[in-house]
Amino acid sequence: MFKDLDFSVCPDECLGVNGENGAGKTMLLRRRAGELHPWSGTLIRQAAGGFGRLRQRPHFEQHWSVTDVGAHALSGMLDLEARIVARASGPRARAKRSLRARWRITRR
């Protein structure tokens, strides 16, 4: 599915993966999370920090009501949103925005 794939995510950075159905997004993230092992090559996890992933089909208990499922999903989303906001407003993010503004650097 992937050939010569190489990427890194630095501390305080968030990674979003998007693509067509069947492109391998879920498989990539499951391998990164340690849920699956690579068929070939090497996967190096250097950081001691955590890795979070929003699942497409989250697990919930069969006895939960629709309200319970919604509350569970929202609690996870609110926690994720708080972490993203904290990272986006941290000193590293502010420095990046300042450099982009100063040098008119745009994202591709």
Asked which of 35, 57, 79 is the last residue of a domain, the reply is 57
Looking at the structure, do residues 68 and 90 belong to the same domain, yes or no?
A: yes
Angle at 56 between CA 83 and CA 71, to 5 degrees: 60
pTM: 0.44
Q: 42-88 pLDDT, tens per residue? A: 777 766 556 666 666 667 788 988 888 778 777 777 777 777 777 77
Asked which of 57, 76, 96 is the last residue of a domain, the reply is 57
Query: Please, which residues have CB within 8 angstroms of residue 48's CB and are 6 or more apart in sequence?
Result: none
The structural domain count of the chain equals: 2
Query: Please, which residues have CB within 8 angstroms of residue 37's CB and are 6 or more apart in sequence?
Result: 31, 43
pLDDT-derived band at 107, boundaries 50, 70, 90: low
Write out the residue range of the structural domain in which residue 72 sits: 64-108
Q: How far apart are CA 90 and CA 22, in angstroms?
A: 35
Looking at the structure, do residues 48 and 70 belong to the same domain, yes or no?
A: no
Looking at the structure, do residues 47 and 89 belong to the same domain, yes or no?
A: no
Q: 9-42 pLDDT, tens per residue? A: 777 677 778 888 888 888 888 887 778 887 877 7
Looking at the structure, do residues 41 and 68 belong to the same domain, yes or no?
A: no
b or e along 75-87 (b: 16 or more beta carbons within 10 Å of the residue's beta carbon)? eeeeeeeeeeeee
